Each structure stands twice: as structure tokens, then as C-alpha cells.
């Protein structure tokens, strides 16, 4: 049985502004580039453990991470508690 990865971004589409920064940043296929600039996480297992690249670029601070345990705070945002059931696929 494969264990689910415990680190990936969850994009708060209500707080984000669909600027496309997060979609453009990731080269690991985490977001669906066909839906650019709308950020849709389709491959959470592609996210690099503890990478905050897309979250650091988000001007709205709308990208928390499942598994965040470093104390990182999104720029222009507040740390968010995220569970693993947020419809990221």
C-alpha cells in the first residue's frame, strides 16, 4: 500500500486573485497549466517537500501547505491550518 505524501500546496481560490504566479513558478506539474492562470492543484505528489516557492510568490498569501511544520508564514497572509481533505485533486 502506497503512503500518501504529507506535503503539498492548497490554494485558497477565494483569497487568491488568479495572477498565475504559482502556476508559472512550479516546474513539477503540481498545478494544471492548461487552466492558467487559474491555480488548480492536480498533482500534489510532485511538490518538493518543504518548498515554499509558489507560496512565497502569492501576493495574497493564499497558499498554505498540508504538512507545514516549519513555522513559515505566507507573505501578505496569515498562517492557515490545513487538513489533508481540501479537494486538491
**pTM assigned to the model:** 0.76
What are the cell numbers at 85?
481533505
Cell output for 19: 495572477
Low-confidence ranges of the chain (pLDDT < 50): 1-3, 81, 83-89
Dihedral of the alpha carbons of 26, 71, 88, 17, in degrees to the nearest 10: -70
Please report the pLDDT score of residue 48 as a whole number: 93
Rounded Cα distance, 1 and 25, in Å = 32
C-alpha 82/C-alpha 8 separation (Å) is 10
CA-based end-to-end distance of the chain: 19
Cell numbers that stand for 17 in this block: 486573485
Amino acid at each position: 500500500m502506497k503512503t500518501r505524501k504529507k506535503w503539498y500546496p492548497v490554494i485558497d481560490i477565494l483569497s487568491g486573485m488568479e495572477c498565475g504566479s504559482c502556476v508559472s513558478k512550479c516546474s513539477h506539474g503540481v498545478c494544471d497549466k492548461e487552466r492558467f492562470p487559474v491555480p488548480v492543484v492536480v498533482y500534489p505528489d510532485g511538490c518538493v517537500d518543504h518548498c515554499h516557492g509558489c507560496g512565497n510568490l502569492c501576493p495574497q498569501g493564499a497558499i498554505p501547505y498540508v504538512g507545514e511544520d516549519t513555522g513559515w508564514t505566507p507573505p501578505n497572509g496569515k498562517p492557515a491550518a490545513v487538513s489533508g481533505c481540501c479537494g486538491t485533486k
